[in-house]
Amino acid sequence: ANTPKEDLASWLHAHLGEQDARMGFSYSDVLADCDAWLLARSMQSNSSERSLSTAMRDMFAQSETNRIKRFYQSRFKGSADNLVIAFRKLVDGIDLGIFDNVSGSKKALLIASHADRLPSQAEAGILALSYAESLENPNR
């Protein structure tokens, strides 16, 4: 029999980044999150020098695979361990600057994820490693 860890990892492998996910986090969800982060980062770095439309045109000129890999490298330094650290910080709410677990953030995470509970530390690690794998190999 599968352990809960294997069950979660297997489910994630089947549903994370899937082209037509009816449940889980589809390829287009992954790509949209990567694009949003890259675009925000580009605008922060060059806000006075370029327009939003120029930043979008430059970003969309790159392949989807390249954008996903750039996100993983830029946001997490291409490290699954860094992704695990980030995911584990979310299990009890969102940290903002010097404030840990901002009021209402746990409820916001539950609403956004359509879940009745946030993952445990162990589950967050499994989620992060599966997400790292999908970012490293975006065209499964």
- Write the pLDDT tens digit of every residue in 62-108: 999 999 999 999 999 999 999 999 999 888 888 888 888 888 888 88
Our count of domains for the chain comes to 1
- 88 closest CA partner among 100, 103, 78: 100
Burial profile 54-67: b = 16 or more Cβ within 10 angstroms, e = fewer: ebeeebeeeebeeb
Range of the domain at 67: 4-136
DSSP β-bridge partners for residue 99:
96
The token pair at 15 is 């549903």
Q: What percent of the chain has pLDDT over 90?
A: 39
Query: Which pTM does this prediction carry?
Result: 0.79
